[in-house]
Structure 1
Amino acid sequence: MSRRESPPPPSPPPPPQLLGVRRGEVECDDRPERAEPLTDAEREIIQDSWGHVYKNCEDVGVSVLIRFFVNFPSAKQYFSQFQDMEDPEEMERSSQLRHHARRVMNAINTVVENLHDPEKVSSVLALVGKAHAIKHKVEPMYFKILSGVLLEVLSEDFPEFFTAEVQMVWTKLMGAVYWHVTGAYTEVGWLQVSSSAV
């Protein structure tokens, strides 16, 4: 029996403050307010916890993308190579999905490694935002959704390192990432398109 025929029991929903967007709900708000800068202690918490994750970056990235595409199938519209994949096991075997998972995790790693250098972080996220706005034409809300899925997977797969305190700090970081990315969208003149498909 395949996973599609017999889905696993649903996991309890994560706390709303962790995700910002619940499955099936998408809020299209204006650009958020800029988050307070991370403190030195918060940067250290992020870098310490990320060290455990990055050892398994490809597998973690694949888990994140599979959950993202299964829970938000409308996101697959931006990936012609994944559009026809519905079975999580098929996604897991996809070399293209693994390649994209590595790219996502490496981008996060670049941010984490450069938390001491806000200008570097800003320039990296501006490049990511502009590429997704101009080249891929991805709705910016998917960054918020993907951030939530990432935090959900990290807290489940690494519970000893992603305590409630660590999750709060990561939520702050993901808010800053989203702020920078949406800033890049604004800079290139992105026009909000309502997406009722989500």
Structure 2
Amino acid sequence: MQALLIDIEGWEIQMERLLKQIEAYKPCNEQEEKDRELLIQWIRSGMDIVTRANETAHLTASAWVVSPDRKHVLMAYHNIYNSWAWLGGHADGEWNLQKVAIREVEEESGLSQVTPLQEAPVSLEILTVDGHWKRGTYVASHLHLNVTYLMEADSRKPIRKKPDENSAVAWIPVEEIGEKSTEPWFVEHIYSKLCKKALTLQ
């Protein structure tokens, strides 16, 4: 029982830490302003958004991994979306979303050495996910309450794909992201914004 109480206490501390980070976040545009308010509402709701048990909406973390010269971004060709996209995944019980983002980079690309460029998030977004089949099970349409972190890594280090999730992983030149991604909304509203933000944090 004591161990359980300690775990719950740790959860609450991490939840409050994330909430404070999001409350302190300075939106750069109207999309971030509106999505920030929604994220705060979801966290304060008391609902379980840190696991996939909440099939309507749950927390996810993304990593925008750039090369030291900011000319390349680490991306994966995701099987579900049939598109080159950033790396990231579900919180699955973990409120420390930067830790989740780092974990997802390693799982999806095999890259074991990444350096967060700041502790705070670099971007916030509410993402819609269309219904799809995953490992033989239908996943209904839902929301990803997403927090993105900026990271840097050596583009010369070995990487590999994760066949059950992606069919390729590569360092994509910044100027080619718009051609590689088949998701125009992401290119226009997310990826272009992240490329600009990465340049300001050199």
Give TM-score scaled by structure 2 length: 0.27
Structure with the bigger percentage of helix? 1
Structure with the bigger percentage of strand? 2
Give TM-score scaled by structure 1 length: 0.28
